[in-house]
């Protein structure tokens, strides 16, 4: 992985609230890359497990080995099929008690990839929101083409947390903020066709925004076709700074403080 590009983020100023370094595309370079990221402004990474077994194990292992890695555990909507139609609560509770588990995620609804399992997805999402509340943890929510149902469940169960890689409207974003939730903004905001997300960032106060990568996916411009990593958040922050008309360091500082508050990290 090439980290020679120009990243001027102050030490430790980048907080990546949503990454998947457990992805097999990092199998050959994971340790080297994570070590290097810590010297390129990255201070905090939350690896979001997609399932309660292999993925969660890999994320927890990174948390044990790297000071700046934290873990969110949960069942991703695309895995509802393989992980079962109900949450394995014994396993879930075992996992959330592990050190450095700071959230329940990645959980939510995905009607883009799997339209035929809506009811199952809703049940698993709803139960995980309830468990997050019972254990006083925030949630990290995936919502793809499922805005109405996502909002309904969040309104009903009222977890704290964030909607990652937000793709809804300005109105929905403001509704989520009213519920006390955060809006996750990633590389998509730098894309040419990102008009809707730019409007969202304009409308939502910076105090309710979190920055993220979704690494290895969704690299910001000018690295759009490359494998994404957390140092690229600098470019996402630059775009947010331009929209908000403030400095990039201010954006990094405020969004990192938001994340530390939400995920209870000192």
Binding footprint of Zn ion on the chain (CB under 5 A): 106, 214
CA 228, 183, 61, 22 dihedral sign is: negative
Q: How many whole angstroms separate alpha carbon 135 and alpha carbon 251?
A: 30
CB nearer to Zn ion: give 70 or 243: 70
Could you tell me the smallest distance in angstroms from the CB atom of residue 247 to Zn ion? 28
CB nearer to Zn ion: give 106 or 143: 106
Which of 33-39's residues contact partners 24+ apart within 8 Å by CB, and which partners?
Answer: 33/1, 33/229, 34/62, 34/66, 34/69, 35/66, 36/1, 36/3, 37/3, 37/229, 37/230, 37/231, 38/66, 38/68
Q: Are 92 and 77 in contact (CB under 8 A)?
A: no
Q: How many whole angstroms separate alpha carbon 37 and alpha carbon 234?
A: 12
Q: How many whole angstroms separate alpha carbon 38 and alpha carbon 26?
A: 16
CB nearer to Zn ion: give 34 or 243: 34
Could you tell me the smallest distance in angstroms from the CB atom of residue 217 to Zn ion? 7
The three-state secondary structure class of 256 is helix
CB nearer to Zn ion: give 144 or 253: 144
Could you tell me the smallest distance in angstroms from the CB atom of residue 95 to Zn ion? 17
CB nearer to Zn ion: give 145 or 242: 145
Neighbours of 67 (CB within 10 A): 11
Could you tell me the smallest distance in angstroms from the CB atom of residue 221 to Zn ion? 20
Phi and psi at residue 199, to the nearest 5°: -60, -40
CB nearer to Zn ion: give 72 or 137: 72
Could you tell me the smallest distance in angstroms from the CB atom of residue 163 to Zn ion? 12
CB nearer to Zn ion: give 140 or 209: 140
The three-state secondary structure class of 71 is strand
Q: Are 159 and 129 in contact (CB under 8 A)?
A: yes
Could you tell me the smallest distance in angstroms from the CB atom of residue 224 to Zn ion? 17
Q: Over the range 76-97, which residues count as b (16 or more CB within 10 Å of their CB) and which as e?
A: bbbbbeebeeebeeeebeebbe
Could you tell me the smallest distance in angstroms from the CB atom of residue 245 to Zn ion? 30
């Amino acid at each position: 992985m090439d980290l020679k590009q120009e990243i001027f983020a102050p030490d430790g100023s980048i907080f990546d609230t949503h990454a998947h370094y457990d992805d097999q595309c990092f199998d050959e370079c994971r340790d080297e890359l994570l070590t290097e990221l810590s010297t390129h402004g990255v201070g905090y990474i939350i690896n979001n497990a997609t399932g309660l077994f292999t993925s969660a194990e890999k994320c927890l292992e990174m948390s044990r080995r790297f000071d700046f890695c934290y873990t969110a555990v949960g069942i991703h909507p695309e895995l509802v099929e393989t992980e079962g139609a109900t949450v394995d609560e014994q396993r879930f509770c075992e996992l959330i008690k592990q050190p450095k588990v700071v959230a329940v995620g990645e959980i939510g609804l995905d009607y883009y990839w799997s339209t035929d399992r809506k009811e199952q997805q809703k049940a698993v999402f709803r139960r995980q929101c309830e468990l997050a509340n019972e254990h006083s943890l925030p949630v990290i929510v995936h919502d793809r083409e499922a805005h109405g149902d996502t909002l309904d469940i969040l309104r009903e169960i009222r977890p704290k947390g964030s909607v990652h890689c937000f793709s809804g409207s300005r109105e929905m974003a403001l509704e989520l903020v009213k519920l006390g939730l955060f809006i996750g903004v990633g590389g998509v905001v730098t894309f040419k066709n990102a008009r809707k997300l730019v409007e969202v960032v304009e409308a939502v106060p910076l105090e309710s925004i979190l920055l993220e990568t979704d690494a290895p996916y969704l690299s910001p411009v000018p690295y759009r076709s490359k494998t994404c990593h957390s140092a690229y958040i600098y470019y996402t922050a630059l775009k947010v700074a331009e929209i908000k008309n403030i400095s990039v360091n201010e954006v990094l500082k405020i969004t990192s403080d938001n994340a530390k508050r939400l995920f209870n990290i000192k």
